[in-house]
Each structure stands twice: as C-alpha cells, then as structure tokens.
Amino acid sequence: MTKTHNIAILGASGYTGAELVRLIATHPGMAIAALSAHSKAGQPMAQAFPHLRHLDLPDLVTIDQIDFSEIDLCFCALPHKTSQDVIRALPRDLKIADLSADFRLRDPAAYEKWYGNPHSAPLMQKEAVYGLTEFYREDIRTARLVAGTGCNAATGQYALRPLIADGVIDLDSIVIDLKTGVSGAGRALKENLLHAELSEGAHAYAVGGTHRHLGEFDQEFSAVAGRDVRVQFTPHLLPANRGIIATVYVQGEPDQVHDSLAGAYADEPFVHVLPMGEHPSTRHIRGSNFCHIGVVADRIAGRAVVVAALDNLTKGSSGQALQNANLMLGEDETTGLMLAPVFP
Amino acid sequence: MTKTHNIAILGASGYTGAELVRLIATHPGMAIAALSAHSKAGQPMAQAFPHLRHLDLPDLVTIDQIDFSEIDLCFCALPHKTSQDVIRALPRDLKIADLSADFRLRDPAAYEKWYGNPHSAPLMQKEAVYGLTEFYREDIRTARLVAGTGCNAATGQYALRPLIADGVIDLDSIVIDLKTGVSGAGRALKENLLHAELSEGAHAYAVGGTHRHLGEFDQEFSAVAGRDVRVQFTPHLLPANRGIIATVYVQGEPDQVHDSLAGAYADEPFVHVLPMGEHPSTRHIRGSNFCHIGVVADRIAGRAVVVAALDNLTKGSSGQALQNANLMLGEDETTGLMLAPVFP
Amino acid sequence: MTKTHNIAILGASGYTGAELVRLIATHPGMAIAALSAHSKAGQPMAQAFPHLRHLDLPDLVTIDQIDFSEIDLCFCALPHKTSQDVIRALPRDLKIADLSADFRLRDPAAYEKWYGNPHSAPLMQKEAVYGLTEFYREDIRTARLVAGTGCNAATGQYALRPLIADGVIDLDSIVIDLKTGVSGAGRALKENLLHAELSEGAHAYAVGGTHRHLGEFDQEFSAVAGRDVRVQFTPHLLPANRGIIATVYVQGEPDQVHDSLAGAYADEPFVHVLPMGEHPSTRHIRGSNFCHIGVVADRIAGRAVVVAALDNLTKGSSGQALQNANLMLGEDETTGLMLAPVFP
Amino acid sequence: MTKTHNIAILGASGYTGAELVRLIATHPGMAIAALSAHSKAGQPMAQAFPHLRHLDLPDLVTIDQIDFSEIDLCFCALPHKTSQDVIRALPRDLKIADLSADFRLRDPAAYEKWYGNPHSAPLMQKEAVYGLTEFYREDIRTARLVAGTGCNAATGQYALRPLIADGVIDLDSIVIDLKTGVSGAGRALKENLLHAELSEGAHAYAVGGTHRHLGEFDQEFSAVAGRDVRVQFTPHLLPANRGIIATVYVQGEPDQVHDSLAGAYADEPFVHVLPMGEHPSTRHIRGSNFCHIGVVADRIAGRAVVVAALDNLTKGSSGQALQNANLMLGEDETTGLMLAPVFP
C-alpha cells in the first residue's frame, strides 16, 4: 500500500490534534501533508508536542497557508463555532472529519439551545453524518462531512443504543453517571484544570442536565426509540488524563440487557462486551480505540447496571475520527487503530 | 484543661489508626497511653508511620500487653471479625469506639448475610450504638460501645436521611453512585491497590448491590422510613488517596430536597449544606471532619441530584470516632476536630 | 490567651495565602481582620477557596480598602515586584512578614541580576531580616520586616548551612538535586501547570544554574563560609501538589556530616535529623511545618548524601511566615504550627 | 512478511511480560506461541491483563507445558535467580532474550557481590551478550543469549558512555541523580508500592551506592574507560507509573559534552539528542522506545548537566528486548517499535 492519501489536520496544537498525529504515524495509507494551529503557527510540531519529535512532520501553519487542492481528507480539531466558520470556507469537494461539536446536532434549534448561538452553516449541518461509526457506518462511507461525536456522548450511546433499539429497558428512568479524565477538557488555560486544583480528588460538573452532550443523547436516543427520550446525566472529572467510564442505571431484565449488547457488538472490532457480571476499567482501554462494556444484575429485580469505558482521546474523538476517515477513503476501517492499550 | 483521658488505640498500624493519632495529637483532653499492632508490634510508631515522628508516642505493642485498667476509652481500628473477638474480651466497663464493621448491624441475621459468618458477640451487637453522630448523638453520650459507620455508608446517609425522614423523595428509585479514594481500602497488600494498578484510571467495584455497606443503608433507611427501603449503590475507586463523593439521584421536588437537608444540618458544626445549585468536591474537605452537601435540580421536573463529599479517613471513620469519643467522655464534641481541610 | 493580634493577609487568593488562613484558623492568638486579592476582590474567601468555607472570614477586598491602623501584623503573599511596591506604601510601623522574593537578597545588584529589574525600595531591602527562622531567630524577634525565604532555598539551606558553618564539607563540589511539588509554582494559568501536562511524569527546569533561588544560596552560603560559595542546583517538577525533597551530594566524612546536622538541630522543634542511614519522604511532612533530614554515607569514601524534605507551602513559605510572625509578636514560636502531617 | 518467528514469553503475568505482548501485537514477523506464568498459570492472559483482551493469545501455562521445539526465540521476564535456573534448563539452541538481572554482569564475583548468591550458570553468564543495543549491536546479531540491561542502568549509560569513551569528562566526579516511575518495581505486593503509600510524594531509595544497577555501571563504564570508574547514583521513586529521568552532573566542557552525545547517536533511530540547552521530560517518551537526551551548561565553568529520559518498561526493558530480538532473528531492528509516545 502506498501513502496515497494526503491528510491535513486543522487545530493540531490541541490534544485531539496530537492524538491524530500519533495514530496516523503508524497508518500505512496516510501521509500528513499539513498541520495548522492558531497561536502556535510557525512552530515545529515538536515544539508544541515534544513527544512527536521522532516524526518528520510539517511545521504548524495558519489555515490560509494550506493548499487544500493537494489534500484528500481534512481533520478539523478546532473549537466549536470556529469550526463551522472554517469548514464553511473550505473547498466543497474536500472530505472532512470534524472533531468539534458543530455538526453533531441536525436541528438548528437544538444547536442554538445547547450552544447559545445560531448556526452559521445550517445547510452543512443538515448534510453532516453523525460519526458514531458502529451505527452510521454505511452513511459515513459516502459522506463528505462527518461530525465526530462528543466523547461522553459516545460512551453513553455505546451502553444504551442497542438497549433502546431492542426495547429491553424502561426509557424514562435512565441515569448515566459518568467519570472522565481531564484531557477531554482540552489544553485551555483554566484554573480548575491546573494540576494543583484537579489532582487528588473528584467533583461533578454540569450537574442537573446542563452538559451539551445531552443534546446528542436527546437527538440520538429519541431517534432510536421513535419517541422523546430524556436521560439524567452527570459527568465527573477524574484526577487522570485519559479515560471515560459511564455507569448507567437501567430498568430491564439484566440477561436481556446483556444479550442485547452482546448481540449488537458481536462483530465489532473495537466494542467488546464482557461476560455477564464483569465490568471494565478505564485503565484497560487507555491509549487505544477499544470500548469495553459490562453488565451486572442489580440486587433489585428488574434492574441492571451497564458500565462502559473508552479513551476519550482515542475512541471518544481522534480514534473515532480516523476510523471514520478510513471508511471515507475506502481504507480498511481498522487500519492504524489496532494499537493495544498502554498499561500500566 | 488537663489531659485527663487516657486513650488506647488498637490496630494503630493501619490508616485509621494513624489518622486517630494525627487528630488526637492536637486534642487537649486526651493522652495516648497505648498503641497496639499485630505484625508490627515492637516497633516504634514512627517506624510504622514516619509522619508521626515528631510526637512522643508509646511503642506499638500487642493487645495483651496493654493494662486496660488505666484506659478511659479504647478505639478499636481492627479488621472486622477480629474486632468482635477482641472487644468481647475487653473489660466490661471500658468505653469503646469501634471503627470496624462488627457492630454496625443490629440484626445477627443481617450481619451474617453481609459478612458471611455468625456474630460471636450478639449481645454486644445489640448493645452497640450506631455511630452516625448527628443522628444518634444522645445515645452516644451514654453508650459504652459505639459502632463507627462505614465510610460510604456515612456519606450516603448524610445525603439521604433527612429526605427520607421528611418524606420528600420517592423511596423506590434512589440511586447512589459513589466514588472513593483508595485509603478506605486500608493498608492491605492487594494487587489492585498497587500504584501501578490503581493510578491514572477508575473502575467500579461491588457492582449490583453486593457492597457490605448496603447492610447499613438497608437497616438505617428502613428504620427512618418505617418500611423497607432498598437503594441501588455502586462504589467506584478513584486514583486519589482520600475523599468520598456520592452522587445521589432522587425523585422529589428539588427545593424541598434542599430545604430538608439545609434544615436538618443548620446547627451542625461539621455538615454544611451549600447554597442551592452548588455542589462539593472531595478536595475541599480533604483531611478534615467536614461533610459538604449540594443539591441541584435536574432538567427533568421532579428530580434532584444530591452530591455529598467527606474524607473517608476523617469524617468517614477516625474523625467520626473521635467526635463520638468526645461525647462519650463528656468533652465538647468538636474538640480536636476543627482542623481546616488541606488544599491543594 | 485572647485573640489580641489582628492580622491582614495580602494576596489571599493564592496558595500561600490560603495556607496562612488554614494555619491561623487554629491559632489562639491571632484574628484574621482583612484579606486582600486582586482579581477576586469582592468575593467571599469561600468562593476563592471552598475548603475554608467553615471559617468566619472577611470577604476579599483590595489593598486600599484595608484600614491598616487596626492591623498588628501583615502577611504579604503577593507576586515579586508587586510586593516591594505595596510594602513601600504601607505604614512604617506595621509589622510585615513578606512571602515574596523581594526582600530576600540584601544586595541591590544581586537582586537586579536574578530578578531583572532594579529594586524600588532598596532601603527596606537593607532593613529586611532573612526569614530562615532557625538561623535568624533573634533578629526576627525585633524585626519590622521579615523576608520569607524561597521554598527551595529553605530546603537546601537546612541541609547545608550547618555543614558549611562547621567546615565539614568541600565547598566547591556541592550538588543540590531538588524535586518539588507543583503548588510552589502558584495558581497562575500556565500550560505546563495543567493536570494533563504535569501529571504522570517528571522534568527538570531552570537547569544549569538559572533558578532565582540560587541568589539566596549564593548570599547565604557565602556569608556562612566567609568566602564565595557557588553550588550546582537543579530543580525538578514532581507530579504531586506539595512537598520538596532535596538530594544533596557533598564531599566530607559522613559521620561528621551527620553529627553537624544533628547538633545544629538538636533543640529545634521543626527540624528533625533522622538516625544515620535513614532518609525522608515528602509524604511524611505533607501539610506540616516539619523538615526531615537524613544522611547516608556513599560507597565512595569521603562522600555523603544529605536528603532534606519539607512542605513547600508550610515550612517552605506560609508555615515559616507564621513561625516568624509568632516571634515578631512575642508569641510562642510554635503556636498554630504543631499540626501533624497528613498521611496518606 | 509472514509471521515466521514463533515466540514464547516466560513470566508473562508481570509488567514487562505484558509490555512485550503489547509491542509484539503489532509486529508483522512474530507470533506469540506460548505465555508462561507461575501463580496465574491456567488463566487466560486477558484475566491477568484485561487490556490485552482484544488479542487472540494463548492461555498462561507453566514453563514445563511449553514445547520449545516450536519456539524460535524466548523472552524471559522472570525474577532474577529464577531466571538463571530456568534458562539453564532450556534447549541449548534456543535463542533467548533475558530481561532479568541474571546475565548482565560478566564477572561471577561481581554478580555474587551485588545479588548475594553465587551464580548457578557461570558459563552461560560468560556467553551472554550485554543487551544495550546501540553499543553491542553486532554481538547481539549473532548471540544466542542476550542479557537485557537494568532500566536505570540503560538510562545512565545512554547519558554517559559516549562521554567516557570520548574522554570529555572527569571520571571521578560523576553524579547520577535518577527518578523512576513505579512500574520498574514490578507487580509484587509490597507496602511501599501501594497507591496510598506512593502517590502524592517522592523519596529516594538505595541511597549511598547500594542499588544493584551500580554493578552494571561499574562493569560498563570501567570497560569503556579502560580503568576503574565509580559513579555516585541515587534513584528516587516518582508518583508515576512509567518513565525514568536521570540528571547527570559531569565536569567537562558543555559543548564537547553535547558534541560527543550528538555524534554518538546521530544515526540511532531511538536515541535522540536535543539541541544544546534543551532537556527532556518523561512524558514525551511514555509508552515508546525512544530515549531523549539533553545537555545544559552549568553556570560554573567546566560543568554540564546531562538529562536523559526513557520509558523503563519500553526502552528500559521490553522494547529493548524486542529491539535485540529483531537483531537476533534477522528482522529490521525497529520493527514493532516505532509507536509514538502516548501524551497526555
């Protein structure tokens, strides 16, 4: 296989950008042709991310310095709102795997409700395919613009979509209690992300149903169920860099719950359902594109606990984006993504 | 005030034992007269715990080397099962603050169900007062034997007891999703407690209603409600040493939930209810005897999220025990316990 | 004892400010009368630091809102350069314990060399007493302005001053390899202080003799030796919040090295020299005002390794400042400072 | 390339065993044919290491259950002393990459001095090639038994061997102050390796020249220098899982020091010398086979600080072993080893 696909990464100085580079570095069919960054434009990538020093990478440039006519696929790892403005101005025939929140919601009103501003590219919003690969695979193959999911949204959906589709749980009592590592918050300078503030403890955030990923849950779960579904969702910040674990409380027969999940993912290369009664740890998917899901029967009859774990930077964003890009480019879906988790 | 009370600590080489010493070190009315340990008997306390090097402490001895006739109150920080055998053999007039699980459950059958063995001191089991200070204060004052609560059990009860007592929540849909630091698991040598295994990630344990602290929830919540109450409870292990945070999902009017908690703890020195909409972090109670509780209304009408945080080694065990000991000895309840949390 | 001393803390929204409040909270002879902050002025202290929520504290104000006529002693926990400008404008008879770098160096040229700007209050620079309590105790008692030391500078000096004074080591081959927790870098928003950047690894900084605390080493060691002394000093940042450990390589007879240190600190309440061959951990002084020092003979004859550990926020800054304030106010030197370390 | 080489890993239930599996999983020329473990024999590998769940691996067996006639190369990741006994009994024509300490020292007396017991296979000790690939490459190609180096020993040698060989530093004043993550201590159940004991702080160990890796420094540096060389070496344990950083103090002209290192490693795929004045972090080599080295001139003329960082589990042991195995099997040296570091 020759490196036939030229790749650009916009927003390469953030964590998802660096993760894309890490993954693509071992991909035999992709060549990184351009890397953009805003405040760090002009720097070698190894200055922004010294762990990529061994790679022969183009320097960081501004977006307008990139010649997109030579690019086969562009990853956009930009902040939301910026993303829609940038993508609107890119060539219309450029394949785009977007990692931002901008094209996840299909309904402009829903977008404005959760993100606080009207969408500037509503037509492209409509065109975009939701990037949860296992459930939108065929659409992604032919899509021009794929909207990467929220990392929390992906985790919750892996635990719940088959259960809702199969009708094995009550739709009005779903609780998703989620714990995430800090890299999901990005590289922004915020007091609460400092090591001294964040390490050695834990706290909840966006409590009570205010987290934006609820927009994705509402859209997707309602579509699957064919009726409105509203879940409770509380994310917590862990003193760890990578990894999301979602503990999902459902009312339904535990065996049916396990059967539903095991059946849905039986042939999936990245989503693994553990034997009944076992449950996962973020440590065992760290740095990888795998998602582990466990089901345990509760002592209260008719209730089950579903636990799902994935790495927010990999399966939750950059790995997912690469998986989708493989499909968009006609590559094997798993290429560059079979790296084993790093433990300890 | 003179140091009139002679104190013994059995099981002083564990974390709760060391925490007792740390707290008592600044207590003006208590003198540490004896410290016991099993495998470390014969060592200076500063060898088992070099952070206590500055204190003038008795060496670690075996229990039978202690002259209990000189002891006014004995803290027992021994493993469960050992505890009941040791306490049974102590002088009948010795005041005891037990930190083990052995005297928390009043019903011998419940004890055997959760701990797997018949109780060897059922009469003392009956005599023991449950040590959740804020709710058993008057009984504790006159008790001879006080059973310290489970650290998780304390956290969940601080969040829920007033709500159950006031009848402001549905009793059949309570979910307690709890995250705890690792020191609650003690100093035992287990593979899953190694730094390389535990750090940088999170996992659930005792999923599905198998954690022994459920015995306390069942006993106490049912007693408060006047009917059987069964909650769902999933503990998770955090990559942090101290601190428990419980995220409790309840069905009830959020304002009533907040009012109930704020009213119940209005005069409590250690339990602080935050303003409506705010919620706590384990970092802000670390190393202290405080419990912070927050209430947030969910976006789904009629549901609220209650978040409670405390330090498992302090308010969850050793601080609680000292608070109880103060009452048992006629000291002011807060003596030695007003230390501010250590942050960062 | 009544709370006769009214205290102000300038720069109370930083970590050393919060640590001062934590310590003073249990001090029977001090009342916190004013707390200043710059960008957080107007906030309750519990908003800036929720772990201090249980205390009845004045709100954060700007410095010019403070009536200094009612203040007996003022702690200044301001950034360097700001500190000298603020202190210059304070009443001339106000006792000041400064925690900044501004008055540590007595020589204006040395100050300018290390800090890059001329000093704006050179007369006060001359007046200030260097705040390493154990070595300047008598001067501090009568001082109006005491300059708290650098936290790294304190650690290295505890390990080395007696050895230099006693002439038991070679002065031209001293190497100080130091590792520090991140809280010493303060609460500033810098990319390299983010949890995702700092945790799970270690790196050196200010390598090659560029760290500003070398100005203190040069000044103090040369004064003690009566000749110029230049040490090598490499600090490293640890993925931990509190604690400094300095590994100091000296050429000298190990027994003499141990004797010198043991003798120097025999009567000191806070500096503890371990038995020959033992060495300390940052975990065992965490949150306390203690400094632990160990000496080990190297396998190479005539060489010793001295290891010193202290908590940068306590003995390295705020605890030291309170120790000095006690002396300045005629209180017992140890009041409020005998808190045991918090472990684990 | 077909998977022509059948591989066995003895001691696969430890961290270096798991790391070998992780790396070999993406190696196109190796197939894992057998995995042995002692107490975990009989378990699926995914039970010992759930992060390897996605791989199709043989179950763990005892060593005597392995048919070595089908094995082309055997990795031994066994404890020292066990290793020599096991290897002595393996077929004489089996290629072996040993990760233990048993064949690192060529002199039986040196082995006994550092490890406390006489060697049980002195002839094989003589036969073994020291596995520091960059310096023994040609011998390794034709070796039957290659002795993996100590992880600390590798780090120190990467920093120092060229300097000693080129004669650019004083040989009698070398100080290696090293900090290592905890995975280097293995998966053994020891109190000091518990999360609650190890996290949030740092301490030195084997202070004063007692660490066994000094045997390797003595052997190798003396051989390079052609005279006895004795360095000072103090390892410290970091609250992190992976990564070693060695801060090496040398007397010599900084530019010559940098030139020597830059020249020595100019063509090496895994050892990267940073531009003069820059220095590495363990975070930037985490999970990879790279070693980063920096040189900084000290403010004292004629002195330099060399800082080297590598991942103890990869370049320090399992990655090194795979690099050597590639050579022994005639594969390209870098196959399976070009994985980018995982950051954050």
pLDDT digits (tens, 9 = 90+) for B12-66: 999 999 999 999 999 999 999 999 999 999 999 999 999 999 999 999 999 999 9
Residue C338 with chain B: CB contacts under 8 Å: 25-26, 54
Chain D: list its partners (3+ Cβ pairs within 8 Å). A, B, C
What pLDDT is attached to residue B251? 98
pLDDT digits (tens, 9 = 90+) for B147-177: 999 999 999 999 999 999 999 999 999 999 9
Min Cα distance D339 → chain A (Å) is: 7
Token pair for A342: 């790093």
Contact D98, D87 (CB under 8 A): yes
pLDDT digits (tens, 9 = 90+) for D320-339: 999 999 999 999 999 999 99
C85-108 average pLDDT score: 96
Residue A298 with chain B: CB contacts under 8 Å: 208-209, 232
Question: Residue C31, SS3?
Answer: strand
Nearest-by-Cβ selection for D187 from B15, B187, B194: B194
Look-up of token digits 């001067």: C139
What pLDDT is attached to residue C23? 98
Residue in D147, D140, D201, D202 with CA at minimum distance from that of residue D177: D202
Q: Is the confidence at residue C228, as pLDDT, over 90?
A: yes
Chain A: list its partners (3+ Cβ pairs within 8 Å). B, C, D
pLDDT classification of D1: cutoffs 50, 70, 90:
very low
What pLDDT is attached to residue B290? 98
Q: Is the confidence at residue B275, as pLDDT, over 60?
A: yes
Angle value at C-alpha B34, between B31 and B37, nearest 5 degrees: 140
What pLDDT is attached to residue A3? 63
pLDDT classification of B3: cutoffs 50, 70, 90:
low
What are the b/e assignments for A200-227, b being 16+ CB within 10 Å? bbbbbebbbbebbbbbbbbbbbeebeee
Contact A191, C187 (CB under 8 A): yes
Token pair for D18: 């798991």
Contact D341, D286 (CB under 8 A): yes
What pLDDT is attached to residue A103? 97
Task: Mention every residue, 6+ apart, whose C-beta is less than 8 A from residue C91.
Answer: C68, C69
pLDDT digits (tens, 9 = 90+) for A228-279: 999 999 999 999 999 999 999 999 999 999 999 999 999 999 999 999 999 9
Residue in D111, D114, D150 with CA at minimum distance from that of residue D130: D150
What pLDDT is attached to residue D221? 98
H or E stretch at D254: helix D254-264
H or E stretch at B15: helix B15-24
What is the signed CA dihedral for A52, A55, A56, A61, rounded to 10 degrees? Answer: -20
pLDDT digits (tens, 9 = 90+) for B276-305: 999 999 999 999 999 999 999 999 999 999
3-state secondary structure D196-220: HHHCCCCEECCCCCCCCHHHHHHHH
In chain D, the residue whose alpha carbon lies closest to the alpha carbon of B241 is D196
Interchain contact, B281 vs C22, CB within 8 Å = no
In chain B, the residue whose alpha carbon lies closest to the alpha carbon of D238 is B195
Residue of B74, B76, B151, B291 marked active site: B151
Q: What is chain A's pLDDT, residue by residue, as a tens digit (344 residues)?
A: 456 899 999 999 999 999 999 999 999 999 999 999 999 999 999 999 999 999 999 999 999 999 999 999 999 999 999 999 999 999 999 999 999 999 999 999 999 999 999 999 999 999 999 999 999 999 999 999 999 999 999 999 999 999 999 999 999 999 999 999 999 999 999 999 999 999 999 999 999 999 999 999 999 999 999 999 999 999 999 999 999 999 999 999 999 999 999 999 999 999 999 999 999 999 999 999 999 999 999 999 999 999 999 999 999 999 999 999 999 999 999 999 999 999 99
pLDDT digits (tens, 9 = 90+) for B204-233: 999 999 999 999 999 999 999 999 999 999
Q: Report the residue of C180, C194, C197 to disrupt the A interface, i.e. the one with the largest count of A CBs within 10 Å.
A: C194
Residue B267: count of CB within 10 angstroms of its CB: 8
Contact D82, D56 (CB under 8 A): no
Interchain contact, D204 vs C241, CB within 8 Å = no
Please enumerate residues of C whose Cβ is less than 8 A from a Cβ of B.
15, 18, 21-22, 25-26, 49-55, 183, 200, 241-242, 272, 280-281, 283-288, 290, 292, 338-344
In chain A, the residue whose alpha carbon lies closest to the alpha carbon of B239 is A239
| Peptide bond between residue A269 and the one before it cis (omega within 30 degrees of 0) | no
Residue D21 with chain A: CB contacts under 8 Å: 340
pLDDT classification of B1: cutoffs 50, 70, 90:
very low
What pLDDT is attached to residue A1? 47
Contact D240, A240 (CB under 8 A): no
Radius of gyration of chain A (CA): 19
Interatomic CA distance for residues B243 and B283, integer angstroms: 7
Residue A40: count of CB within 10 angstroms of its CB: 18
B97-108 average pLDDT score: 97
Average pLDDT of every residue of chain D = 97
Q: Is the confidence at residue C196, as pLDDT, over 60?
A: yes
Look-up of token digits 């002025």: C41
Residue in A223, A247, A243, A22 with CA at minimum distance from that of residue A104: A223
Nearest-by-Cβ selection for A241 from C182, C196, C241: C196
What pLDDT is attached to residue C45? 97
What are the b/e assignments for B202-221, b being 16+ CB within 10 Å? bbbebbbbebbbbbbbbbbb
Nearest-by-Cβ selection for B283 from C51, C55, C200: C51
Q: Distance of CA D208 to CAs A333, B59, C160, D180, D228, Å?
A: 55, 29, 18, 17, 18
| Peptide bond between residue C44 and the one before it cis (omega within 30 degrees of 0) | no
Interatomic CA distance for residues C93 and A240, integer angstroms: 49
Angle value at C-alpha B226, between B223 and B229, nearest 5 degrees: 70
Amino acid at residue number A164:
I
Contact B201, A240 (CB under 8 A): yes
Interatomic CA distance for residues D287 and B113, integer angstroms: 46
Q: Is the confidence at residue D2, as pLDDT, over 70?
A: no
Question: What values do phi and psi take at B248, rounded to 5?
Answer: -115, 125
The residues of A annotated as belonging to the active site are 151
C276-295 average pLDDT score: 98
| Peptide bond between residue A344 and the one before it cis (omega within 30 degrees of 0) | yes
Average pLDDT of every residue of chain C = 97
Question: What values do phi and psi take at D94, rounded to 5?
Answer: -80, 130
Sheet holding B73-76, edge to edge: B60-61, B30-36, B5-10, B73-76, B95-98, B145-147, B129-130
> How many CB pairs (< 8 A) connect B and D?
56
Nearest-by-Cβ selection for D26 from A54, A55, A339: A339
User: Would you report the helix, strand and coil content of chain A in percent, each value rounded to 5?
Assistant: 35, 20, 45
pLDDT digits (tens, 9 = 90+) for D270-311: 999 999 999 999 999 999 999 999 999 999 999 999 999 999
pLDDT digits (tens, 9 = 90+) for D116-166: 999 999 999 999 999 999 999 999 999 999 999 999 999 999 999 999 999
Contact B138, B326 (CB under 8 A): no
**Active site (annotated) includes residue B151:** yes
Q: Distance of CA D230 to CAs B33, D216, D221, D245, Å?
A: 50, 11, 8, 20
Interchain contact, B340 vs C54, CB within 8 Å = yes
> How many CB pairs (< 8 A) connect B and C?
94
Q: Name the H helices within chain C.
A: 15-24, 45-48, 82-88, 108-115, 122-127, 133-142, 151-165, 195-198, 213-225, 254-264, 319-328
pLDDT classification of C2: cutoffs 50, 70, 90:
low
Sheet holding A175-180, edge to edge: A203-204, A232-237, A175-180, A244-251, A303-310, A291-297, A271-273
CA atoms within 13 A on the CB side of D269: 16
Amino acid at residue number C334:
T
What are the b/e assignments for A12-25, b being 16+ CB within 10 Å? bbbbbbbbbbbbbb
Residue D114: count of CB within 10 angstroms of its CB: 19
Residue in B123, B75, B117, B74 with CA at minimum distance from that of residue B103: B123
In chain C, the residue whose alpha carbon lies closest to the alpha carbon of A194 is C194
Q: Is the confidence at residue C222, as pLDDT, over 80?
A: yes
Residue in D97, D57, D62 with CA at minimum distance from that of residue D77: D97
Residue C201 with chain D: CB contacts under 8 Å: 238, 240, 243, 281-283, 286
Question: Residue B307, SS3?
Answer: strand
List of E strands, D109-231? 129-130, 145-147, 175-180, 203-204
C269-278 average pLDDT score: 98
Contact A231, A174 (CB under 8 A): yes
pLDDT digits (tens, 9 = 90+) for B60-88: 999 999 999 999 999 999 999 999 999 99
Domains of chain C are 5-149+315-328 (3.40.50.720), 151-312 (3.30.360.10)
Residue in A337, A250, A279 with CA at minimum distance from that of residue D54: A337
Burial of B107 (0-12, 13-18, 19+ CB in 10 A): middle
Specify the pairing of strand B145-147 against strand B95-98.
Answer: parallel
**Which DSSP state fits A221?**
H
